Chain A
Amino acid sequence: AQSVTQLDSQVPVFEEAPVELRCNYSSSVSVYLFWYVQYPNQGLQLLLKYLSGSTLVKGINGFEAEFNKSQTSFHLRKPSVHISDTAEYFCAVTPMNRDDKIIFGKGTRLHILP
């Protein structure tokens, strides 16, 4: 079975400052990793995903994430946030090479301060 832990339920950050949202996972098999964003009253939009290859993954809206297998982490970063980045961010995993569902973390609310 897989599980995802997002250590911070809320992260306040000033506009134009850098941000890191932390994600750790647990799995007995290799996994694919995802970050999704959810704006108020909206569905989930894929920010980026790690399937294989380079451990640094670049996504939409200037976000990037780094897969660290030894630390079972997949932290999300952005060098300079904007007010429009205010949203809920979800880290997620699914088993590699298997026909299976995505398991989500509980989410981190990114709160941009003016």
Chain B
Amino acid sequence: GAGVSQSPRYKVAKRGQDVALRCDPISGHVSLFWYQQALGQGPEFLTYFQNEAQLDKSGLPSDRFFAERPEGSVSTLKIQRTQQEDSAVYLCASSPGQGAVEAFFGQGTRLTVV
């Protein structure tokens, strides 16, 4: 596709439910980033992949959060046993090289936990 695609755009989950958020990066992009953006806040870094390798997961808030990119393309962010504080927009970005200098962002997935 022409840009970074995220699905679903909106997700409502009941507290305790598991969710999976998908990111399709721009074709050929090496680096992929996940961010969490709470209402009225700036994006907060979650994790970074270079191809299939997860180079940095220091921003994942708890062991309920898990991300993967098994073939170095599509990535999935999984949240287990969702809690209300997980409600946020989850943004994905990809860049053609190493690092984030040329990053392009997707439109995000808005997760609401009820």
Contacts and interface: CB of A to CB of B under 8 A. Distances in A.
A36 to B, nearest CB: 8
Interface in A1-60: 4, 6, 32, 36, 41-46, 49, 51
Contacts of B91: 43-44
Interface of A: 4, 6, 32, 36, 41-46, 49, 51, 90, 94, 98-107
B77 interface: no
Contact of B100 (A6, A43, A51, A102): A102
B100 A101 contact: yes
Interface in B13-67: 33, 35, 40-45, 48, 50, 55-56, 59
Q: In terms of DSSP, what is the predominant structure of the interface of chain A?
A: loop
A24 to B, nearest CB: 14
A102 B104 CA distance: 12
Q: Which of under 10, 10 to 19, 20 to 34, or 35 or more describes the interface residues of B? A: 20 to 34
Nearest to B4: A43
The 8 closest A-B pairs by CB, nearest first: A104-B42, A44-B105, A43-B107, A43-B105, A99-B98, A102-B100, A106-B42, A99-B99
B103 interface: yes
Contact of A43 (B44, B48, B108): B108
A74 B106 CA distance: 25
A101 B45 CA distance: 8
Given A6-B42, A94-B101, A106-B41, 6 more contacts: A42-B107, A99-B55, A101-B48, A102-B33, A102-B45, A104-B35
A2 to B, nearest CB: 11
A46 B4 CA distance: 14
Contacts of A51: 101
